[in-house]
Amino acid sequence: MTQPSRLAIVPFVSVDSMMRLVLTIGVERFLTELAGYIEEDFRRWELFDKTPRVASHSHDGVIELMPTSDGQLYGFKYVNGHPKNMREGRQTVTAFGVLADVGSGYPMLLSEMTILTALRTAATSAVAAKYLARKDARAMAIIGNGAQSEFQAMAFKALLGIDRLRLYDIDRSASEKCARNLAGLGLDITICTSGQEAVEGVDIITTVTADKQYATILTDNMVGGGVHINAVGGDCPGKTELHKDILLRSDIFVEFPPQTRIEGEIQQLAPDHPVTELWKVMTDKAIGRTNAKQITLFDSVGFATEDFSALRYVRDQLQKTGLYEELDLLADPDEPRDLFGMLLRAES
Ligand SMILES: NC(=O)c1ccc[n+]([C@@H]2O[C@H](COP(=O)([O-])OP(=O)(O)OC[C@H]3O[C@@H](n4cnc5c(N)ncnc54)[C@H](O)[C@@H]3O)[C@@H](O)[C@H]2O)c1
C-alpha cells in the first residue's frame, strides 16, 4: 500500500481525542477560552456569510447542516435533534464538523462535534448571560438535566461565577446524574421536585429540555422581575419551552433573526415582534440589560458561527497538544490530472 502524501492528510479529532483535549486543558479553561473565540466572532458578525441552517425535518427529528465563512475559513456542522433517541440508548444530539481553507477549498480539520456542541452551546449561553444577566447573579435553575446540562452549569460557573444550582427534570434520575457529575466542582446543588420549586430565588433560569412539541416548561407566574432566561431547548419549528406571556414581558435577544424566527421561542410571536441581535449588544450598537427589574431572554437556537468558532478553537489547540489523528481524506495524485492513474497504480 502506498503512503498518503502530506496533502492527502487532514487532522481528525475523534471523540476520544476531544475528551482528552478537554481534560488536558481543563473544562472551565476550555469553556472560557472557547467563549473568547465565540465572542470574537460575534464581534466580527458583519464579515460572515450567514444563512439559516438547512434543516431536513422528519416525524421523529431533524437533521441539519450549518455552514458559514469569514472569507478566510469555511466551516460547517452536521447535527441532528431526535428527542426520542434518548429512550433508545442514543444521544438526542450528535454532530461532526469540518473547517476548510477558503483559498484552496481543502479541509483543514474534521472533528467530532457532539461534545464540542455541548461545550459551544454552553459557552454561547454564558457569553450572552455575561451581557444580559444581572451582575450579582449567583443562583441558576436548570430545567432539563440531560446531556447538555452539566456543560451549561460549568460554563455559567466559569464565566459568571454561578455557585448555586437548582435542578429539575421530569425524570429524577437525570437530575441525580447531573448532581453526581457536578459533585465536588464548587457548586451548591439542590434537586427539586418541580419546575416551580427549581426557579425559587434564582437569578438565571436555563431551560434545556428535549421534546418534539410546543411544551410549557415555564409559565408566566414562574418568572419574577430581574431574571435572565437562557432558553436552549426550543430550537426547531413546533418545539418551544416558554409560555407566550413570558415572551411578551421580556426583552428578547437572539443570534440570527431569520433562523430564530423559524426555530426559537419567538416563533410564537408576530414575525415583526422586536428582538435584539446579540452581536449588536456586544459591539455597543444596542443596549442589553438596562435595569435590575427587567426580564431578559436569550432565545438560543444555536448558530453556525458558534460552531465555526469552536472548530477554530480546536484547530488552534492541535499542534500544542498533538491530540488528533492523521486522516487520509483527500486524493492527491503525483500529477493533479492523473486521478485515474493513481487509482490504477493502487492495484500493484
Ligand atoms: N440552542 C442550542 O444551541 C442547542 C444546542 C444543543 C442542544 N439543544 C437542545 O437542547 C435540548 C436538550 O438537549 P440534550 O442533549 O440535553 O437532550 P437530552 O435528551 O439528553 O435531555 C433532555 C432532558 O429533558 C428532560 N425533559 C423533557 N421534558 C421535560 C419537562 N417537561 N420538564 C423537565 N424536564 C424535561 C428529559 O427527561 C431529559 O433528561 C434539546 O431540545 C436540543 O435540541 C439546543
**Which tens digits make up the pLDDT trace of 210-231?**
887 889 999 999 999 999 999 9
**Residue 326 grid cell:** 492523521
- 235 touches ligand 1 (CB under 6 Å): yes
Give the other-Cβ count within 10 Å of 51's Cβ: 14
- In the sheet with 276-277, reading across from the earlier edge strand, the strands are 188-191, 164-168, 139-143, 204-207, 228-231, 296-299, 251-254, 276-277
- 300 touches ligand 1 (CB under 6 Å): yes
- 8 touches ligand 1 (CB under 6 Å): no
Residue 97 alpha carbon to ligand 1 centre in Å: 21
By residue count, the chain amounts to 348
Q: What is the set of domains in the chain, with CATH numbers?
A: 9-115+305-346 (3.30.1780.10), 125-302 (3.40.50.720)
Angle of the 304-321 helix axis to the 15-25 helix axis, nearest 10: 80
User: Binning pLDDT at 50, 70 and 90, where does residue 3 land?
Assistant: confident
CA-proximal residue: ligand 1, atom 39 (nearest): 146
User: Which atom, in ligand 1's list, is nearest to the CA of 145?
Assistant: 39
- 217 touches ligand 1 (CB under 6 Å): yes
Residue 321 alpha carbon to ligand 1 centre in Å: 32
Question: Is the pTM above the cut of 0.85?
Answer: yes
Spatial separation of the C-alpha atoms in residues 343 and 341, rounded to whole Å: 5
For every residue of 310-346, DSSP letters joined together read HHHHHHHHHHHH---EEEE-S---SSTT-HHHHHHHT
pLDDT on residue 1: 61
Spatial separation of the C-alpha atoms in residues 35 and 30, rounded to whole Å: 8
> Angle CA(7)–CA(8)–CA(11) in degrees, nearest 5?
95
Q: Which residues are catalytic?
A: 235
Distances from the Cα of 152 to the Cα of 88, 158, 314, angstroms: 24, 10, 19
> Which are the contacts of 40, defined by CB distance < 8 A and separation ≥ 6?
309
For every residue of 189-254, DSSP letters joined together read EEE-SSHHHHTTT-SEEEE----SSEEEEE-GGG--TT-EEEE-S--BTTBEEE-HHHHHHSEEEE
CA-proximal residue: ligand 1, atom 30 (nearest): 170
Name the burial class of residue 211, with classes exposed (0-12), middle (13-18) and buried (19+) by CB atoms within 10 angstroms of its CB: middle
Give yes or no for a contact between 266 and 247, defined as CB atoms under 8 angstroms apart.
Answer: yes
Give the other-Cβ count within 10 Å of 152's Cβ: 27
Helices marked H in the chain: 15-25, 27-43, 114-132, 149-160, 172-182, 195-198, 244-249, 257-263, 278-282, 304-321, 339-345
- 165 touches ligand 1 (CB under 6 Å): no
User: Which atom, in ligand 1's list, is nearest to the CA of 174?
Assistant: 39
H/E element holding 143? strand 139-143
**Residue 318 grid cell:** 492541535
Q: Given a cut of 80, is residue 348 above it in pLDDT?
A: no
User: Which atom, in ligand 1's list, is nearest to the CA of 93?
Assistant: 15
Mutate to test the pocket of ligand 1, among 92, 143, 254, 307 (most ligand atoms within 8 A of CB): 92
Residue 50 alpha carbon to ligand 1 centre in Å: 26
User: Which atom, in ligand 1's list, is nearest to the CA of 148?
Assistant: 16
CA-proximal residue: ligand 1, atom 8 (nearest): 233
Average pLDDT over residues 250-271: 97
> Angle CA(152)–CA(158)–CA(163) in degrees, nearest 5?
80
The closest alpha carbon to 166, from 210, 112, 203, 214, belongs to: 203
The SS3 of residue 131 is: helix
**Which tens digits make up the pLDDT trace of 88-147?**
999 999 999 999 999 999 999 999 999 999 999 999 999 999 999 999 999 999 999 999
**Which tens digits make up the pLDDT trace of 281-326?**
999 999 999 999 999 999 999 999 999 999 999 999 999 999 999 9
